[in-house]
Amino acid sequence: MINFEEELAKFEPSQEIAQIEETVLNDKMTDITDIMRELLEEVKQQKK
């Protein structure tokens, strides 16, 4: 039978996954919130 605690203790994440995770966390990605902020700022500037 598989001892899950033992298997988890031996687990080491793939190097590729670690590299992808680092890239994603360090990358400045634009999301819908950023787009909305830019649009709101443009509207505010036009009203002045």
16-24 long-range contacts (CB < 8 A, ≥24 apart) are: none
Q: Is the dihedral of CA 4, 6, 9, 10 positive or negative?
A: negative
What's the confidence (pLDDT) of residue 5?
A: 94
Q: What is the pLDDT along the chain (48 residues), one digit of tens a residue?
A: 999 999 999 988 788 888 888 888 877 778 888 999 999 999 999 987
**pLDDT at residue 44 in the model:** 94
Query: What's the pLDDT at 9?
Result: 93
pLDDT at 39: 95
Instruction: For residue 44, give both structure tokens.
Output: 């505010």
